[in-house]
Amino acid sequence: MLKNDILSLRNLSAKQILNILDLASNLKEQLLTYGANAKYLEGKILGMVFQKPSTRTRISFETAMLQLGGNAINLSFNDLQLSRGESIEDTARTLSLYLDILMARVYDHSDIEKLSENAKIPVINGLSDLFHPCQILADFLTIFEYKRKFKDLRLAFIGDGNNVCNDLLLGCPKMGMDIRVATPIGFEPLDWVTEIARENAILHNTDLLITSDPVEAITDADVVVTDTYISIGKENEHDRREKIFLPAYQVNSDLVQHAKKDFIFMHCLPAKREKEVSSSIIDGFHSVVWSEAENRLHTQKALLLMLLRPEFYNISGLSD
């Protein structure tokens, strides 16, 4: 079987994303209706490597594997010989001897690339400094549940041009959504990601805007997304970043007046209330953050199934 990896949404075509969302929706309905999923992954083992702390990623992946009949092994950095100097390449080769699939949450994206290049089993990026594909798949499922479409929607991302922003740029044009990103000058998303996004926007006839003006970005938005501007590993930049991002890039009642009246608000969590978002927004009527968090479970089930049981869909390779 061809080894497929999910390192960013660049690895997925629009059709493959829709297949994942369709399968995730079916699995979610099955779980809610019957209280269980069929044991599709019985005998399969997921290894989870964590360099960063995790709540949603660890618990949703572990629960997903267990509910599908498989098992999951949690491996923190200190549990592995990585902490004593073994190379990532040798770690990947070793884990491939015991596991069926690997998910890693890392600081440096080059680490997930090394795992992918050297592992003989599928590798999923649970989060890196550059990309967060699992989160954006859950976001797309949430958007569809609330808006019942993708085409002609406008998504506004307000804040740091980080991993979430990068994968939204890679994914939104493929889904037929316009995307507008507002970041302070110097905090824009990756140039090469923006270039790919612009190419996809032309291909799919969608609008893409990168600006430093949050009002320009959020005007007439159907979906408003933000994230912390102090990611893990950036704590030493706290004071500098806070002066740059606040108050202009806080999603609050004043800013969202420019969005559509029926907009939905999303945040990957954990959120810092009264920092990147006000309590009135994240805890308010427009917020869908808890549906978004729940959908991590269902989209990750779909990913695991499609990588380990490719007969669910005819996948010849996960690439554009």
CATH of the domain at 212: 3.40.50.1370
Is 317 domain-assigned?
no
Range of the domain at 151: 135-292
One domain, residues 141 and 253: yes
Quote the pLDDT of residue 318.
39
One domain, residues 179 and 264: yes
Please list the active-site residues.
105, 132, 135, 227, 268, 296
Is 318 domain-assigned?
no
Give the percent of the chain with pLDDT over 90: 85
Tokens of 302: 């779909």
One domain, residues 270 and 147: yes
Is 3 domain-assigned?
no
One domain, residues 73 and 180: no
One domain, residues 156 and 288: yes
One domain, residues 88 and 103: yes
Question: For residue range 203-244, what is the model confidence (pLDDT) as tens digits?
Answer: 999 999 999 999 999 999 999 999 999 887 777 888 999 999
Question: For residue range 178-206, what is the model confidence (pLDDT) as tens digits?
Answer: 999 999 999 999 999 999 999 999 999 99
The number of folded domains in the chain is 2
Task: Decide if pLDDT at 313 tops 60.
Answer: no
Is 1 domain-assigned?
no
Is 320 domain-assigned?
no
Give the whole-angstrom CA distance, residue 83 versus residue 80: 6
One domain, residues 13 and 162: no
One domain, residues 196 and 210: yes
Q: What is each CA distance from 90 to 82, 86, 94, 304, in whole angstroms? A: 9, 7, 6, 24
Is 4 domain-assigned?
no
Residues with Cβ within 8 Å of residue 164, at least 6 apart in sequence: 132, 135, 136, 157, 225, 227, 268
Highest mean pLDDT among 71-80, 84-93, 157-166: 157-166
One domain, residues 143 and 215: yes
Task: Decide if pLDDT at 317 tops 50.
Answer: no
Task: Decide if pLDDT at 2 tops 80.
Answer: no
One domain, residues 205 and 78: no
One domain, residues 144 and 25: no
- Higher per-residue confidence, 82 vs 173: 173
Quote the pLDDT of residue 236.
81
Task: Decide if pLDDT at 83 tops 80.
Answer: no
Quote the pLDDT of residue 232.
72
Quote the pLDDT of residue 295.
98
Give the whole-angstrom CA distance, residue 146 versus residue 26: 16
One domain, residues 124 and 202: no
